[in-house]
């Protein structure tokens, strides 16, 4: 088995990921999670650390495959209400090119329901464990992203208060933005 970071790792089996922790790390074991329908010939290349609260949790996995002869990445959000015994998988193509930090994590999770990401120059949000995603119109953020396209971090403290730390393409400049209305308006904290 491959080594795990944060309790998850890609499986050596192409079409699955392996989770090796249950009960928020209280017990550990290997469990193979099959790829969702439509991605059975895709390879799980990365599974990200879950966010858990009691028995409810959410995590993201990325799968690599081909579509019409081209390599593509597909993102899947997994959600559980029973500590991981049963998982609901949602293929979230909205997140295929999304990022939430410099490490390439696709989503910053506030909790197992609320997630935030930057995709195509916009803030993308879910409040239902990744089943549906919507763009938040935010002119100040959308104006800042072309000048600072590298997302260093997204951090939301609540569904209304959050921060985005961005960096210029040449790595020379950064800006820290803050929202208190869920991402519609942003104020520069420092540049």
Helices (H) and strands (E) in the chain, counts: 1, 16
- Please say if the pLDDT value at position 33 is more than 90: no
Q: How far apart are CA 135 and CA 116, in angstroms?
A: 10
Bridge-based pairing of strands 162-167 and 150-156 is: antiparallel
Proportion of the chain above pLDDT 90, given as a percent? 50
33, two tokens: 């999670």
pLDDT band, residue 121 (cuts 50/70/90): very high
186 pLDDT band (50/70/90 cuts)? very high
Confidence band, pLDDT 50/70/90 cuts, at residue 21: low
Closest CA to 49 of 38, 41, 61: 61
Q: Which long-range contacts (CB under 8 A, 24 or more apart) does 60-67 make?
A: 60/92, 60/95, 60/105, 60/106, 60/107, 60/130, 61/8, 61/17, 61/33, 62/106, 63/35, 63/39, 65/39, 65/41
Region label for 45, one of left (φ > 0), alpha (ψ between -120 and 50) or beta (otherwise): alpha
pLDDT at 9: 47
Nearest-angstrom CA–CA distance, 125 and 133:
5
Q: Where are the alpha helices (DSSP H) in 24-99?
A: none
Q: Torsion over CA of 168, 97, 52 and 155, rounded to 10 degrees?
A: 20
Q: Does residue 97 register a pLDDT over 60?
A: yes
Q: Between 6 and 69, where is the model more confident? A: 69
pTM of the predicted model as reported, rounded to 2 decimal places:
0.81
Average pLDDT of every residue of the chain: 84
Q: Is 171 helix (H, G, I), strand (E, B) or coil?
A: coil
Whole-number Å distance between alpha carbons of 3 and 42 = 20
* CA 75 – CA 98 distance, rounded (Å): 9
């Amino acid at each position: 088995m491959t080594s795990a970071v944060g309790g998850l790792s890609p499986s050596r089996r192409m079409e699955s990921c392996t989770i090796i922790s249950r009960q928020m790390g209280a017990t550990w074991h290997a469990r193979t999670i099959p790829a969702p329908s439509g991605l059975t010939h895709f390879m799980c290349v990365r599974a990200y650390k879950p966010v858990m609260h009691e028995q409810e949790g959410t995590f993201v996995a990325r799968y690599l495959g081909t579509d019409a002869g081209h390599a593509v990445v597909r993102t899947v959000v997994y959600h559980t209400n029973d500590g991981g015994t049963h998982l609901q998988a949602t293929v979230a193509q909205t997140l295929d090119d999304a990022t939430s930090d410099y490490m390439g994590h696709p989503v910053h999770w506030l909790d197992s329901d609320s997630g935030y990401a930057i995709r195509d120059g916009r803030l993308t949000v879910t409040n239902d464990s990744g089943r549906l995603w919507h763009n938040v119109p935010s002119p100040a953020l959308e104006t800042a992203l072309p000048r600072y396209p590298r997302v260093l971090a997204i951090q939301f403290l609540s569904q209304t208060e959050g921060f985005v730390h961005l960096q210029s393409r040449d790595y020379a400049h950064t800006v820290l933005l803050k929202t208190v209305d869920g991402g519609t308006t942003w104020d520069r904290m420092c540049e």
